[in-house]
Amino acid sequence: MRVGVLALQGAFREHKQALLRLGCKVTEVRLPQQLAGLAGVIIPGGESTTMAKLMQDYGLDAGLKAFYETGGALWGTCAGAITLATGLVGLAKQPRLGLLDITVARNAYGRQIASFEAEVEVSGLGPFRAFFIRAPRIVRVGPAVTVCASFAGDPVMVREDGLLATVFHPELSGDDRIHRYFIEVVAGGYA
Ligand code: GLN
């Protein structure tokens, strides 16, 4: 299976390494034409306003929407989850793909505990060491969205059809189970 990692900005190398460990072929996606033939694409963490601007500059906003609408799967981590969200608290105009029916609040875990790690229980996978780095908080999930993991009462991993979002960083844990879930269940079962 060939999987893409959006490589405009942010923590894409660690995702690529995890996918290679799982035996995937990996494309670093910087242009829309590189989406052809991919089963899924990971949108990494980074800085969501910068990432959204680069997506627009390279035509990847339209490219990724078309990719999803024609059966491709998308997984956003942290800033990537922000770009997938339909709703953004206080920042309705910030450009994004707006495909996954959740509302997020950026940097909403507070300045003092902006970065922290915690064990979360992922349904079907068990306990998972989660690294949160200036993470968005998911403040609403739509009726078609499944919550796969929560932390302190808030969803931190959600899925809707071929869309997956984690507000933490599985690629930094050295634990590839969520990457495997994405390629086998979300991209594998959906494409
Ligand atoms: N705080 C960043 C944003 O709002 C996301 C941080 C991350 O991806 N680790 O875009």
Q: What are the sequence ranges of the domains in the chain? A: 2-189
pLDDT at 91: 86
Pocket perturbation via mutation, ligand 1, pick of 78, 97, 117 by most ligand atoms within 8 A of CB: 78
CATH, domain 2-189, list 3.30.1330.60, 1.10.3480.10, 3.30.160.340, 3.40.50.880: 3.40.50.880
- The bridge status of strand 100-105 relative to strand 40-43 is unpaired
**Percent share of the chain, pLDDT over 70:** 97
Average pLDDT over every residue of 110-124: 85
Residues with CB under 6 A from ligand 1: 45-48, 78-79, 82, 106-107, 133-134
For the stretch 5-18, pLDDT in tens is 999 999 999 999 99
Taking the centre of ligand 1 as the mean of its atom positions, its distance from the CA of residue 132, in whole angstroms, is: 10
- 78 catalytic, yes or no? yes
- 179 catalytic, yes or no? no
pLDDT > 60? residue 191: no
